[in-house]
């Protein structure tokens, strides 16, 4: 079967990929892509390359395609990953943690996630936020509101 995306590397490109692999300073994905390209240039099949590098055949095919369509540099680089931007930036997260460590509102023994979410909206930090986002934000910290020690150093 004739390959649609043939890998024909120049000697300079081959040397560049070899250097990238031998240095070992690049990410594992980048090094794997470089190895895929070198093996594809040698005429190995996608299945053989995948088996040799413990990569899927689809990964090998995608790497070939990206090289032909976008060039060597684009082929080696990571594409941005999909996902929604965080609701809270670093400063806002710090304010949520500080708020959680403060005194609870009158009539309450402690802050609940929903109370914190409501207060964050009330303060104008964000237009809307759910209690689960507040929980995940607080989970990232090692502070424990209401305790005498925050857990950083055992007494």
What is the model's pLDDT at position 78? Answer: 87
**What stretches of the chain show up as alpha helix (H) in DSSP?**
11-23, 28-41, 46-53, 57-70, 72-76, 90-101, 113-122, 131-139
Domain segments of the chain as ranges: 11-76, 90-139
Q: Tens of pLDDT along the chain (155 residues)?
A: 557 888 888 899 999 999 999 998 889 999 999 999 999 999 899 999 999 999 999 999 999 999 999 999 999 998 888 888 888 998 999 999 999 999 998 899 999 999 999 999 999 999 999 999 999 999 887 655 555 555 555 55
What is the model's pLDDT at position 121? Answer: 94
**Is the full-model pTM beyond 0.85?**
no
Using only C-alpha atoms, the chain has a radius of gyration, in whole angstroms, of 26
- CA nearest neighbour of 29 among 55, 49, 51, 52: 55
Give the contacts of 10 (CB within 8 A, at least 6 positions apart).
none
């Amino acid at each position: 079967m004739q390959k649609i995306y043939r890998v024909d590397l120049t000697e300079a490109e081959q040397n560049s990929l070899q250097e990238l692999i031998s240095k070992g300073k690049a990410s594992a994905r980048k090094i794997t892509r470089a190895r895929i390209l070198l093996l594809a240039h040698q005429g190995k099949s996608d299945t053989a390359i995948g088996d040799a590098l413990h990569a899927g055949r689809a990964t090998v095919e995608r790497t070939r395609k990206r090289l032909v369509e976008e060039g060597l540099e684009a082929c080696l680089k990571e594409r941005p990953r999909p996902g929604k931007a965080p609701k809270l930036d670093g400063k806002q997260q710090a304010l949520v943690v500080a708020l959680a460590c403060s005194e609870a509102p009158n009539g309450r023994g402690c802050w609940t996630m929903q109370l914190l979410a409501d207060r964050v909206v009330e303060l104008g930090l964000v237009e809307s936020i759910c209690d689960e986002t507040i929980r995940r934000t607080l989970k990232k910290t090692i502070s424990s509101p209401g305790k005498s020690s925050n857990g950083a150093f055992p007494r």
